[in-house]
Copies of this chain bind each other. A is one copy, B any other.
Amino acid sequence: MSIRLAQLVERLGGQLKGDGQTEVRGIAPLDVAGSAEITFLSNPKFRAQAEQTQAAALILSEADDAQVQGYAGARIVTKNPYAYFARAAQWFQQLAAPELTPGIHPGAWVDPSAQVAASAVIGPHVVVEAGAVIGERARIDAGSFVGRGARIGDDTHFHARVTLHHGCEIGERGIVHSGAVIGADGFGFANEAGQWIKIPQVGRVMIGADVEIGANTTIDRGALADTVIEEGVKLDNQIQIAHNCHIGAHTAIAACAGIAGSAKIGKYCSIGGAAMIHGHITIADRVHVSAGTLALRSILEPGQYTGFYPIAEHREWEKSAALVRNLGSMREKIRALEKTLKTLNKADQAAPHDAASPAPQNQEEK
């Protein structure tokens, strides 16, 4: 369960400085790594720690390589040491993972018309309905549900108790965490004399490759057209994505955020925790919405956008909140002051004693 540095560089790239036959058994932070482990320096702040690390090997950037002198072990020089760390850690995790036997657990119910790849692993209490398609090496853990005609790409992993409703699709190398619900009905009703008449939700959820979906996150199916999540999107836990949303590639959304119906979010965006995006608006590419912020209208320029009430001691907040509610009267007072002062100023300017300001002139006048 160890990797030689030469193997690492062969698979993940980077320039090796040191003995390629050196074996490492895991990856750990600078201050924790032992002599059988590899570590990484991704922030120049920690150069001093890098000088002292006990690790067998150090992943670092060219700039840091030039600066770190005292460290005597092997080095892997790469443009993005943090991304290199992530990939190396993935490899070590794969080595440590228990071996799974492909096939369908006897406690699963798989419809005879479903197509499950022979290399897929279907856990106990899983249900796969008619016409569903599950790709090569896909892993569907205990208690998950795959509705009729749904499709799951190669190498995608559903953790325990995931729901993918009928007709919805997710691409290759996806990861879906426990309790996520993909393809429940969108919230659509016609109102008739105060009562709500359900509008059937007949669109699907279409999810690209390399998407990760957090625990208990919900993504609703479209009303008529589809809800779309492009490739590389990362969704944290307990996010709600309403019907007919479109999330652009490589956008990351933090936990507890909500995206209302038909919102369109661009590529390479980040949406902070508990942020809320209103329905039917457009968020441009590379927009960052801060945590706890409600975006009410479209945002068409890249940048960071924020809006939440600043926290304070409770009594301070009570005062400021009362004043916020009375900002209108505060503005009126300012206007009244401006008006009075203008009048006064005119009066003063009219009066002989006051060619007043600036003060020096005034003093000359005395």
Contact = CB atoms under 8 A, between A and B. Distances in A.
B343 A341 contact: no
A341 B343 CA distance: 11
Interface stretch (A49-57, A64-72, A114-122, A188-196): A188-196
A275 to B, nearest CB: 9
Interface string A91-104: 01100001000000
A87 B155 CA distance: 41
A250 to B, nearest CB: 5
Interface string A297-309: 0000001111111
B356 A344 contact: yes
Interface in A80-138: 80, 82-83, 85-87, 89-90, 92-93, 98, 105, 107, 109, 123-125, 127, 130
Contacts of A191: 82-83
A255 B258 contact: yes
Contact of A292 (B216, B250, B276, B343): B276
Interface size, A (range)? 35 or more
Nearest to A343: B357
A283 to B, nearest CB: 11
Given A240-B255, A345-B340, A366-B350, A190 B331 contact: no
A184 B365 CA distance: 80
